[in-house]
Structure 1
Amino acid sequence: MSEVREIAQLGAKVLRQQAKQVQDIHAPEMQSIVSHMFTTLADTNGVGIAAPQISESWRMMIIASRPSERYPYASDMEPVLMINPSFESLRETREKDWEGCLSIPGIRAKVPRYTDITVTYTSIEGQEITQKFAGFIARVFQHEYDHLDGLVYLDRVENNQDIIAEAEFAKLMAISEREPCWGNIEPKAE
């Protein structure tokens, strides 16, 4: 039976481990983990989740981008389970944009990510799939992929001044609603 699992928080050892390759997605244990991942993600305002975030050190993630309170300008994408994913950047262009994480509540930070990537993963049916992702979806993928390598988005921040409280981010979002410029919102000096 599927259940909402507790989200591992920053400091939990599982978030700093290299996740293991999935050998048999059809094993009952893996099917149970996948079910818990979908249920847990649906219970949040998140746009993705990686198995380590529910304290399961396996190379699996779900991307389920949709507009929400946390990401009002997110792209719409049906939930996709990605098993043993990998990616390559299509070009060296990286862009800094705001990220948050279910495992690090209360904080947002500007993180540089590749803007265009090619992703390869195994589907729940066992098929190898290759897709191109750009913009927000590419960002979400790279964020979740980092969890599989024992990294969190704060490890990618270039300058500590790019880290702000969620409450300050909400103020920036209010400004962006009046002056749309989502990705490049800068804090205003007071």
Structure 2
Amino acid sequence: MKRSPRSGPKEDEKTVAWPLPGDRIRRVPLPGSPGSFGEDRGDRRHCGIDLYAAPGSKAVSIEDAVVVEVGTFTTPQTVPYWNETFYVVVENEDGSFVKFAELEAVDVKPGDRLSAGDKVGEVGMVLNAERIGEEAPEYIRGLKERGRPSMLHLELYESRPEAPDKYLGGNWFGQGGPKGLLDPTDRLLAASRSDR
């Protein structure tokens, strides 16, 4: 897992938008805290950043981008305490890729061009609290206890993301991490200072 590259326009020169326009707090989880990039979850590591938001909250593109993929992210058939959610992968102008995940609705399709601030979809309720029992991982039980079953999960890649066997629901099981995975913290901090 690597830091974000600095190719393309400088962060303060391009138009960026906070991915949750209804979120006035704009909190990016600090390293090691729940929902942070690389968070150690016991048997897995977190591959992105979770931005907690109410179900149905509007999720928007952070930068100018092109939609390259849309698909199912979580289903109760895979993990019983998951609800069905979706993901969108976009390619930014600098060649990096962002995965917006845990969406209940998607408003784009592959080939769509987006400007910073254009709607991608709506935040979903990824966790079904009624199905979270003692057998669920500790961090999942913690989300239930803190009342955080819905979030925008965001990942950043230097190349188009792949779905290897060790990746499931935004987590990596085993050593290393997905090919090309980058830490999105700096980009999100830059977007948090945006007026969009």
TM-score (norm 1): 0.30
Query: TM-score normalised to the size of structure 2?
Result: 0.30
| Structure showing the higher helix proportion among its residues | 1
Bigger relative contact order (CA 8 A; separation at least 6)? 2
The structure number with the bigger radius of gyration is 1
